[in-house]
Structure 1
Amino acid sequence: MDEKKLIIVGLPMIAVTYGLSRFSYGLMLPYISETIKMEQYTSGVISSFSYIAYCIAIIVAMAFSIKISPKAILFLAGLLAVLGLGIISIAASPGILGLGIFLAGLSTGFSSPPYATIVSKNVKRRLQNQTNSWINSGTSIGTALTGAIAIIMADSWRETYLIFMLIAIVVVFANYKVLPKNQTVKENVTFGFSKEEWRRAIPLIVASMLLGLSCSAYWTFSRDFILQTESVPDYIGEWFWVVIGISGLLGGTAGAVINKFGLATAYWISVLTLSTSSLLLGTFTGKSMIGFLSPALFGSSYIFMTGVLIAWGISVFKSNPSFGLGVPFLILALGQAIGSIFSGVFADLLGYPAIFIGGSLIGYAALMLKKHKANKGF
């Protein structure tokens, strides 16, 4: 299968499952909270539902990747996205909203591992890092799209989620028509770790956890924080998510950077930039320039960082590309789930700036870890 055709259908699917189904909650939270009265703690817990669902789904997707075709798993991901987005659009209570967020989160976990398998089977090895990176950058497209629609639709968040659901239906149909049919799994593909893979995976797992913790507050509360800051013009808050999404397209270059400079250098660049974006937001919020610079740095570095984790994971778990993508993304999401809950708690106690600064410090810790492990982890 031509890698360009795979990117054309894979990128929109990731845009739907990540951008529309998962990360849109942080964008819509200010509007949702006006309709469904929620404390910051409740908002943080509901946000964690998405990450918890993601963890569950990605484990199931990895486990069944050796038994069920990638296309079937992707079709399930699409159906869950449609169902979750539909439920969110009609939610009248935190419980129903949480159910919709949970189902939409499941779609995210089911969508990533199958593409890693499809790429490994259908794309030349020298093009696999770039193909995976560009498919992964669909998150940025979905994020930019949610931001643009939110600006147009203002506070009509229910109608916005209905539009997201219709987009999801179209994308699922396109993937069903284009992706290879019922490709069998190689006999030597297994579910699990070898001792060598486990040893090499330890720095990957620790780094993924720290990075998940570091960016969780940003995804959940950054826009709400900007909108509540009186010294920042309203238009910055309105365009905040669009800036994250558009800048995320730079993350699609992760594969090319890895091929040219190596995984360790790519990791160092992405984590340094990601952590600095949170530090700027928490420290210089009153500056309008930071209102654009911080999300630009965050969007580009987050997508770039996840592209690095994909390449790193696949290099560790060479016998199972689905597992190689799934493990770091699982740990990343677990860190985000834990971080979302604690971010909501500490936001109530200490305020928003403290949680962004704290997140940046955790990110810098991950940078120091990788600097020490650079030659051993890859």
Structure 2
Amino acid sequence: MNAKKLIVVGLPMIAVTYGLSRFSYGLMLPYINETINMNQSTSGVISSLSYIAYCIAIVLAMAFSNKVTPRSIIVVAGLSSIIGLGIISISSNPVVLGLGIFMAGMSTGFSSPPYANIVSANIETRLQNQTNSWINSGTSIGTACTGAIAIIMTDSWRETYLIFMVIAIFVFIANYKLLPGHQVPEKKVTVGYSKKEWRRSIQLILASLFIGISCSAYWTFSRDFLLNIESIPTYLGECFWVIIGVAGLLGGTAGAFIDKFGVMSAYRVSVLILSTSSLILGIYPGNKITGFLSPILFGSSYIFITGVLIVWGISVFKTNPSFGLGVPFLILALGQAIGSVFSGVIADISGYYVLFIGSSMIGYVTLVFKPKIN
């Protein structure tokens, strides 16, 4: 299987599981709240369920990565997405909505690690960073697609989630037919790994945790914040998710950037831009330029930083690519789960201004970490 063919099926699956199944909640929240009245704390808790589900699923995906084929795990990811989206579309109260969000969130944890194994086994070394980065950029495609459909469907959020489910079914079928179905790693991999690898992963784990905490508020509340600011044109709020998604395509260049300038430079640039996107949203929320600039900065840097974490993680855990991808993504999601809960509480108590400025400060702190590729 060549790199282009793998990207053609892998990118849409990541788009479905991350963009449509997971991050769409923040976009659809204002519409959902018109039907299912929830306060900000409840919205934050439901958002955290997606990240908790992700953590559970990614642990399972890593645990079974050397026992079943990558395609089998991706099949589970596709089914989780389809079922979760279906439940969300028919939810009538926070409990059912939370169940759907949880199921949809499971799909993201199951989808990422298998592709790392497929890339490692099928793609020549010099193309692996770029292939992983482009597959990962599917998040941006999914986010843009979510935003575009939401604009067309306006406040018909149930029908929107049904459309997402249909898209997920087609992508599921494509992956089932085109991915290699016989590829189980020939060598058994020790789940514990060496002490040296775990020591080298400390900075990776801490960086992933704090980055997850810092960006969780943006994914959950940024659009809702802008929609409630009178000086921001309605079209900016409606196109907010599309801007994030389109800008995220720049994140697909992470692999090429790392190959040319190194992982340290890539990490620092992406952290600075990601944190600044929250800072200007908190300081200048009523400015039209902020309405354009902030989502551009966030979309491009979020996908870019996740690409950096993939390369960094695979470098640390050389014995198993799925584990190298899974560990930073697991900790990133754990940080986002923690951040979502606290974000809702902080928004209730202190407002969105304090929330986004505080989130940016946490992001800037992660500049102390120094990723290396050995």
Q: TM-score, normalised by structure 1?
A: 0.98
Q: Residues of 1 paired with 2:67 and 2:357: CA distance? A: 44
Secondary structure of the residue aligned to 1:77 is helix
Q: Residues of 1 paired with 2:332 and 2:293: CA distance? A: 24
Q: Residues of 1 paired with 2:189 and 2:71: CA distance? A: 17
Secondary structure of the residue aligned to 2:187 is coil
Q: Is the 8 A contact 1:204 1:313 kept in 2?
A: yes
The question of 1:6 aligning with 2:2 is answered no
Q: Is the 8 A contact 2:40 2:345 kept in 1?
A: yes
Q: Is the 8 A contact 2:204 2:312 kept in 1?
A: yes
In the TM superposition, residue 182 of structure 1 has moved relative to its aligned partner by 1.9
Equivalent residue, structure 2, for 1:78: 78
Amino acid at match of 2:161: Y
Q: Residues of 2 paired with 1:52 and 1:294: CA distance? A: 27
5 Å matches for 1:99-178? 99-178=99-178
Equivalent residue, structure 1, for 2:357: 357
Q: Is the 8 A contact 1:46 1:98 kept in 2?
A: yes
Secondary structure of the residue aligned to 2:192 is coil
Secondary structure of the residue aligned to 1:68 is coil
In the TM superposition, residue 181 of structure 1 has moved relative to its aligned partner by 1.3
In the TM superposition, residue 188 of structure 1 has moved relative to its aligned partner by 4.5
Equivalent residue, structure 2, for 1:97: 97
In the TM superposition, residue 353 of structure 1 has moved relative to its aligned partner by 1.1
Amino acid at match of 2:60: V
The question of 1:181 aligning with 2:200 is answered no
In the TM superposition, residue 374 of structure 1 has moved relative to its aligned partner by 4.6
Equivalent residue, structure 2, for 1:234: 234
Listed as ranges, the gaps of 5+ residues in structure 1 are none
Amino acid at match of 2:306: T
Q: Residues of 1 paired with 2:265 and 2:164: CA distance? A: 37
Q: Is the 8 A contact 1:66 1:191 kept in 2?
A: no
Amino acid at match of 1:155: D
Q: Residues of 2 paired with 1:2 and 1:203: CA distance? A: 33
Secondary structure of the residue aligned to 1:164 is helix
In the TM superposition, residue 274 of structure 1 has moved relative to its aligned partner by 0.2
CA offsets 1:267-292 (integer angstroms, 9 cap, x no match): 00100000000001111011001001
In the TM superposition, residue 190 of structure 1 has moved relative to its aligned partner by 2.5
In the TM superposition, residue 192 of structure 1 has moved relative to its aligned partner by 2.1
Secondary structure of the residue aligned to 1:230 is coil
Q: Is the 8 A contact 2:66 2:188 kept in 1?
A: no
The question of 1:326 aligning with 2:326 is answered yes
Q: Residues of 2 paired with 1:188 and 1:129: CA distance? A: 24
Equivalent residue, structure 2, for 1:40: 40
Q: Is the 8 A contact 1:188 1:319 kept in 2?
A: no
Equivalent residue, structure 2, for 1:205: 205
Q: Is the 8 A contact 2:267 2:371 kept in 1?
A: no
Equivalent residue, structure 2, for 1:259: 259
In the TM superposition, residue 148 of structure 1 has moved relative to its aligned partner by 0.2
In the TM superposition, residue 13 of structure 1 has moved relative to its aligned partner by 0.1
CA offsets 1:158-217 (integer angstroms, 9 cap, x no match): 000000000000000000010011202131522123111011000000000000000000
In the TM superposition, residue 231 of structure 1 has moved relative to its aligned partner by 1.2
CA offsets 1:338-358 (integer angstroms, 9 cap, x no match): 000000000000001111111
Name the stretch that deviates more: 243-252 or 177-186. Answer: 177-186
Which structure 1 residue ranges, 4+ long, deviate > 2 Å from structure 2? none
The question of 1:341 aligning with 2:338 is answered no
CA offsets 1:127-146 (integer angstroms, 9 cap, x no match): 00000000000000000000
Amino acid at match of 2:152: I
Q: Aligned residue pairs: how many?
A: 374
What is the aligned-residue identity percentage?
72
Q: Residues of 1 paired with 2:116 and 2:99: CA distance? A: 28
The question of 1:31 aligning with 2:21 is answered no
Q: Is the 8 A contact 2:70 2:184 kept in 1?
A: no
Amino acid at match of 1:349: I
Q: Residues of 2 paired with 1:192 and 1:20: CA distance? A: 33
Equivalent residue, structure 1, for 2:52: 52
Q: Residues of 1 paired with 2:272 and 2:282: CA distance? A: 16
Q: Residues of 1 paired with 2:259 and 2:63: CA distance? A: 30
Equivalent residue, structure 2, for 1:317: 317
The question of 1:283 aligning with 2:283 is answered yes
Equivalent residue, structure 2, for 1:247: 247
Equivalent residue, structure 2, for 1:217: 217
Q: Is the 8 A contact 1:10 1:135 kept in 2?
A: yes
RMSD of aligned residue pairs (Cα, Å): 0.8
Name the stretch that deviates more: 192-201 or 49-58. Answer: 192-201
Q: TM-score, normalised by structure 2?
A: 0.99
Equivalent residue, structure 2, for 1:297: 297
In the TM superposition, residue 247 of structure 1 has moved relative to its aligned partner by 0.2
